[in-house]
Amino acid sequence: MRLPLAGLILGGRAGAWALEMILFVSVPLTVLMGVPLYFAFRRKRSVVVCAVAGLFTGVVGALCFLAVTNPLAALRWSPLFVGAGLVSGLVFWRIAVRGNPNAAT
């Protein structure tokens, strides 16, 4: 089990799979979920709001995964989706909000 980024770096069949996952899953989810969330919360971007938005995105990703795979695989991978959503929300807050004098908090 490798993460898509690791497969992309290592190349081969894993690299092709990773590229497909990034292009066809990660990017559309980011555009469909991240951009509307950014504009919905652009005036209140506290660490809590960013973390909750990340968790929400992770839960949506886990539900989409459940819709296309078997429940056992979804149960195994859902915590990873939710955790990745939380981490992405916190990383967004750290990079884009904290220490940025132009960011509205």
In this prediction, residues 7-23 reach a mean pLDDT of 62
Q: In angstroms, how far is the first alpha carbon of the chain from the final one?
A: 39
CA 34 from chain centre, in angstroms, equals 8
pLDDT at 1: 43
The helix (run of H) or strand (run of E) holding residue 36 is: helix 35-40
Mean pLDDT score of the chain: 76
Nearest residue to 61 via CA among 30, 87, 19, 92: 30
Domain extent listing, the chain = 1-28, 41-105
Residue 42, Ramachandran bin (φ over 0: left; ψ between -120 and 50: alpha; else beta): alpha
pLDDT tens profile 74-95: 888 888 888 888 888 888 888 8
In this prediction, residues 4-23 reach a mean pLDDT of 61
